[in-house]
């Protein structure tokens, strides 16, 4: 972790608030998580440290990090001034990662869960941060072999950042429905569209949909309470699906499954970015925003976990269920004016089928999980494997 992790709780909180007060609006960063695979069997393989060592001295070194297990890697765009830059960095990071992995004879996949590899066979990476989480969470952290995609949207002003995070809450199910990519896990067709979310948000503490906070002071009082009672030892132990980030002056959206398709990953990131800017605009102009309690948002979150884009979501204003695709189309229409201003509009789209729907359709037609995963994974040419 960075220097902020060595600060005291008081210093972390002060550092975060100062960062929000001094930042510029609407820079953006994207983080994507990938499974590391044996190219012959497509099993997860514990080789992160090799990949990290191979990155030293390359353009990727500063943008490649570990993420809990040694069969996983995360790549980051870094801070981008506009979405066009972020979209380009997403292309570059994937190309750099695939080239590096190929040199080591490693396969890659960016899907919410691995369809059959056992969590018991994965090793927690040996860093102070993850050793601490291992000690704190035990089975909960062992079981979390999942892969996601996160977007950071810079928001100026600490109070405003808290309120933007509030504003994201009702839309988390729509974002999950769009991103769902994990119908298979532990060799089982789960019947879910996002098994990753069920595993992660239902097991981790301080996860899923957070409460709404009136301002930074109220949010800070809660964080201080967690520190004072020994409930957390680091701000990163707030694993909510959206959160003000202490190390960066951003609102981080963490709800989404990893995306096998680059264009769909860019589209999803563009929507999260545009949504953050649109919520901020609404707050600035006094436009009312929905603030339903977590228990109602959780109803839609379950619908997104279970049915993804194929089901319905509750329209809270009307109290009726509407198709998830219609909810996404309405959301894109709502953000579009701001999306055009910040360069995200060309990337916004609702696909004919998302990754979960495509996998489920193949399975229904008789393809095995192994065949489906092979079609989504990337492996180096056979002559490089073992070379």
The 3-state secondary structure of the chain reads: CCHHHHCCHHHHHHHHHHHHHHCCCCCEEEEEEEEEECCCCCCECCCHHHHHHHHCCCCCHHHEEEECEEEEEEEECCCECCHHHHHHHHHHHHHHHHHHHHHCCCEEECCCECCCCCHHHCCECCCHHHHHHHHHHCHHHHCCCECEEEEEEECCCHHHHHHHHHHHHHHHHHHHHHHCCECEECCEECCCCEHHHHHHHCCCCCEECCCCCCCHHHHHHHHHHHHHCCCCCCHHHCEECEEECCCCCEEEEEEEECCCCHHHHHHHHHHHHHHHHHHHHHHHHCCCCCCCCHHHHHHHHHHHHHHHHHCEEEECCCCEEEEHHHHHHHHHHHHHHHHHHCCCHHHCCCCCCCHHHHHHHHHHCCCCHHHHHHHHCECCCCCCCCC
Q: Are 355 and 261 in contact (CB under 8 A)?
A: yes
257 inside domain: yes
> Total structural domains in the chain?
1
- The distance from CA 330 to its chain's CA centroid, rounded to whole angstroms, is 22
Domain of residue 328 covers: 3-376
190, 147, 170, 228: which is closest to 305 by C-alpha?
190
| Within-domain flag for 383 | no
d(CA 130, CA 134): 6
Query: How many other CB atoms are found less than 10 A from the CB of residue 358?
Result: 19
Q: What is the CATH number of the domain that holds 98?
A: 3.30.590.20
133 burial type by CB count under 10 A (0-12 exposed, 13-18 middle, 19+ buried): buried
CA separation, residue 68 to residues 139, 173, 237 (Å): 13, 25, 13
Give the per-residue pLDDT at 128.
Answer: 87
Task: Say if 381 falls within a structural domain.
Answer: no
161: in domain: yes
Q: Is residue 260 part of a domain?
A: yes
Contacts of 329 (CB under 8 A, 6+ apart): 350
**Domain-located, residue 362:** yes
- pLDDT score at 283: 98
Per the domain annotation, does 387 fall within a domain? no
Query: What string of pLDDT tens digits covers the 387 residues of the chain?
Result: 344 457 899 999 999 999 999 999 999 999 999 999 999 999 999 999 999 999 999 999 999 999 999 999 999 999 999 999 999 999 999 999 999 999 999 999 999 999 999 999 999 999 888 888 899 899 999 999 999 999 999 999 999 999 999 999 999 999 999 999 999 999 999 999 999 999 999 899 999 999 999 999 999 999 999 999 999 998 999 999 999 999 999 999 999 999 999 999 999 999 999 999 999 999 999 999 999 989 999 999 999 999 999 999 999 999 999 999 999 999 999 999 999 999 999 999 999 999 999 999 999 999 999 999 999 999 987 655 554
What pLDDT is stored for residue 175 in this prediction? 98
Separation between Cα atoms, residue 348 and residue 329, nearest integer Å = 10
d(C-alpha 183, C-alpha 44), whole Å? 17
- What's the CA dihedral at 142, 143, 144, 146 to 10 degrees? 120
In a domain, 386, yes or no: no
Token pair belonging to 290: 């929905």
Question: What is the model's pTM?
Answer: 0.95
């Amino acid at each position: 972790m960075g220097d902020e992790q060595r600060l005291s709780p008081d210093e972390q909180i002060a550092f975060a608030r100062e960062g929000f007060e001094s930042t510029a609006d609407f820079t953006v960063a994207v983080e994507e998580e990938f499974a590391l695979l044996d190219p012959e069997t497509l099993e997860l393989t514990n080789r992160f440290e090799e990949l990290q060592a191979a990155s030293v001295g390359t353009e990727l070194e500063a943008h490649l990090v570990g993420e809990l297990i040694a069969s996983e890697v995360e790549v980051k765009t870094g801070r981008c001034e506009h979405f066009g830059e972020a979209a380009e960095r997403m292309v570059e990071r994937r190309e750099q990662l695939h080239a590096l992995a190929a040199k080591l004879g490693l396969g890659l996949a960016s899907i919410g869960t691995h369809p059959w590899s056992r969590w018991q066979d994965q090793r927690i990476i040996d860093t102070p941060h993850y050793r601490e989480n291992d000690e704190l969470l035990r089975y909960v952290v062992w079981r979390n072999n999942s892969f996601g995609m996160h977007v950071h949207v810079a928001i100026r002003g600490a109070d405003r950042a808290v309120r933007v995070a509030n504003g994201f809450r009702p839309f988390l199910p729509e974002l999950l429905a769009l991103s769902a990519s994990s119908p298979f896990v532990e060799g089982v067709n789960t019947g879910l569209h996002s098994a990753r979310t069920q595993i992660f948000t239902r097991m981790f503490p301080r996860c899923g949909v957070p409460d709404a906070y009136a301002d930074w002071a109220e949010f800070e009082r809660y964080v201080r309470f967690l520190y004072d009672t020994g409930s957390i030892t680091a701000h990163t132990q707030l694993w909510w699906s959206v959160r003000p980030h202490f190390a960066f002056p951003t609102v981080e959206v963490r709800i989404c499954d990893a995306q096998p398709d680059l264009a769909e990953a860019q589209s999803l990131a563009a929507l999260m970015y545009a949504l953050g800017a649109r919520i901020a605009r609404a707050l600035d102009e006094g436009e009312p925003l929905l603030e339903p309690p977590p228990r109602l948002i959780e109803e839609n979150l379950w619908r997104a976990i279970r049915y993804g884009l194929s089901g319905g979501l509750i329209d809270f204003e009307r109290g009726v269920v509407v198709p998830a695709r219609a909810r996404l189309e309405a959301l894109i229409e709502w953000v579009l004016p701001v999306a055009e201003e910040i360069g995200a509009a060309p990337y916004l789209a609702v696909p004919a089928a998302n990754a979960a729907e495509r996998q489920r359709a193949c399975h229904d037609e008789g393809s095995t999980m192994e065949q489906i995963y092979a079609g989504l994974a990337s492996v180096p040419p056979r002559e490089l494997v073992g070379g």
